[in-house]
Amino acid sequence: MTTYDCIVIGGGPAGLSAALTLRARNLSVAVVANDPKENPLWKSERVANYPGMENATGAQILTAMRAQAEACGAEFVPARALSAMDMGEGFSVLAGSDVLMARSLILALGVAARVTFPGEAEHLGAGVSYCATCDGMLYRGKTVAVIGQAHDAPEEANALFDIGCDVIYFGLGGRPQALNPAIKFHTAKKYQVTGAGAVETLLADGQSYSVSGVFVLRETLSPAGLLPGLALENGFIQVDRAMATNLPGVFAAGDCTGRPLQIAKAVGDGNVAALSAAEFLARKK
Ligand SMILES: Cc1cc2nc3c(=O)[nH]c(=O)nc-3n(C[C@H](O)[C@H](O)[C@H](O)COP(=O)(O)OP(=O)(O)OC[C@H]3O[C@@H](n4cnc5c(N)ncnc54)[C@H](O)[C@@H]3O)c2cc1C
């Protein structure tokens, strides 16, 4: 398996800028990134304040940045990073169903959903999980709820069903076509996770379901849900001026590290994070 010098998670301006700088230092880099059309900036019809690209659309800026990073040799892994782990000698990242390895990490996640359901944070690791692939086997033979708010949530629910979980899927609209027809489906908007210690019940729009696990599958994960032990400050990833987090070898850039939430700041952060990752790697040699 290839071990990259750095894995960048997130393909927005911060992640793309970091990838470009890492390649300029001749470091190998994998960017775990969803489709650029899913980036919130894609929808912007006019960006007036990004130097050198006056009145470009968000789509034009993202397309140009990505093409430049690709041309420099950054590898793109089209997936959502589901979890990252410090393995001692480096980091493993679960990207969709692929496991990637790297000697350093740059988190460029954008602004993650910081609103959680009541009871969600309290039961994280005690029945609440953000990753069916990581934790599914713990619930074999048990009833689990999947709150499906990510595009790949039906596939994750199917995988839980296939390993022997009794799955109840909760969606926002109609039943997803990709969902295994044998899986029970409900629509709900409001959720609460309850249980003394471990998860016992999911309340969905006031209706109670007895479950042992709740898989909350959102398009973006909270940074601490992605990488346990990561320090946050007011919901943003805590970084120093070198964009270093509290975890050695882990750097962060862009909106996920705080205000101003702007492209120019994200690009600058990505550059600094990449240079810091390069220094970290050089010290380890
Ligand atoms: C409609 C709109 C208009 C805007 N207009 C302007 C403007 O005119 N000028 C300006 O300066 N700023 C503007 N912004 C703000 C600007 O878009 C952000 O500040 C900038 O995109 C931040 O870059 P980033 O790379 O930090 O985060 P993002 O661009 O949000 O990129 C992060 C990416 O990482 C992805 N991601 C998150 N978690 C994971 C994971 N686990 N695995 C894989 N991928 C993941 C996200 O889905 C996202 O695609 C606008 C934003 C919006 C929404």
The answer to whether residues 48 and 69 belong to one domain is yes
Cα–ligand 1 centroid distance for 108 (angstroms): 9
Provide the 8-state DSSP code for 124: B
Helices (H), the chain: 13-24, 58-71, 132-135, 153-162, 223-226, 263-284
SS3 234: coil
pLDDT band at 116 (very low <50, low <70, confident <90, very high): confident
* CA dihedral over 173, 174, 176, 182, signed as positive or negative: positive
The answer to whether residues 235 and 105 belong to one domain is yes
* Residue with the larger pLDDT of the pair 1 and 137: 137
Q: Are 157 and 136 in contact (CB under 8 A)?
A: no
Is residue 138's pLDDT more than 70? Answer: yes
Q: Are 263 and 47 in contact (CB under 8 A)?
A: yes
Is residue 21's pLDDT more than 90? Answer: yes
pLDDT, position 144: 98
Cβ neighbours around 284 below 10 Å, total:
12
Shortest-distance atom of ligand 1 to CA 264: 11
Q: Is the CB of 221 under 6 A from ligand 1?
A: yes
**Displacement of CA 94 from its chain's centroid (Å):** 10
The answer to whether residues 78 and 208 belong to one domain is no
The answer to whether residues 241 and 150 belong to one domain is no
pLDDT, position 174: 92
Sheet holding 3-4, edge to edge: 3-4, 98-102, 91-95, 81-86
The answer to whether residues 28 and 75 belong to one domain is yes
Q: Phi/psi at 225 (nearest 5 deg)?
A: -70, -30
Q: What is the pTM of this model?
A: 0.82
Tokens of 212: 């042992």
The answer to whether residues 7 and 135 belong to one domain is no
Is residue 114's pLDDT more than 70? Answer: no
pLDDT, position 113: 58
To the nearest whole percent, how much of the chain has pLDDT over 70? 99
Task: Report, in angstroms and rounded to the nearest whole number, the Rg of the chain calculated over CA atoms.
Answer: 19
d(CA 30, CA 50) in angstroms, rounded, equals: 26
Cβ neighbours around 248 below 10 Å, total:
10
Shortest-distance atom of ligand 1 to CA 95: 42
| Rounded-to-10 torsion of CA 61, 14, 106, 227 | -100
pLDDT digits (tens, 9 = 90+) for 182-238: 999 999 999 999 999 999 999 999 999 999 999 998 877 778 889 989 999 877 899
The answer to whether residues 155 and 131 belong to one domain is yes
Atom 41 of ligand 1, residue of closest alpha carbon = 81
Q: Phi/psi at 249 (nearest 5 deg)?
A: 85, 0
Q: How many domains does the chain have?
A: 2
The answer to whether residues 129 and 48 belong to one domain is no
The answer to whether residues 56 and 106 belong to one domain is yes
Q: What is the mean pLDDT of the chain?
A: 93
Q: Which residues pair with 165 in a beta bridge?
A: none
Question: What would the mean pLDDT of 133-152 be, rounded to a whole number?
Answer: 90
Q: Phi/psi at 64 (nearest 5 deg)?
A: -65, -45
The answer to whether residues 195 and 253 belong to one domain is no
Atom 12 of ligand 1, residue of closest alpha carbon = 262
* Range with lowest mean pLDDT among 26-30, 43-47, 75-79, 219-223: 219-223
- Final residue in a domain of this structure, among 218, 249, 271: 218
d(CA 188, CA 171) in angstroms, rounded, equals: 6
Domain that holds residue 40: 3-112+221-284
- Final residue in a domain of this structure, among 201, 218, 235: 218
d(CA 34, CA 79) in angstroms, rounded, equals: 5
**Ligand 1, pocket-test mutation among 44, 152, 272, most atoms within 8 A of CB:** 44
Closest CA to 130 of 173, 177, 80: 80
Q: Is the CB of 258 under 6 A from ligand 1?
A: no
d(CA 164, CA 139) in angstroms, rounded, equals: 8
The answer to whether residues 141 and 228 belong to one domain is no
The answer to whether residues 85 and 16 belong to one domain is yes
pLDDT digits (tens, 9 = 90+) for 150-187: 888 999 999 999 999 999 999 988 999 999 999 999 99
- Final residue in a domain of this structure, among 161, 189, 218: 218
Q: What is the CATH number of the domain that holds 137?
A: 3.50.50.60
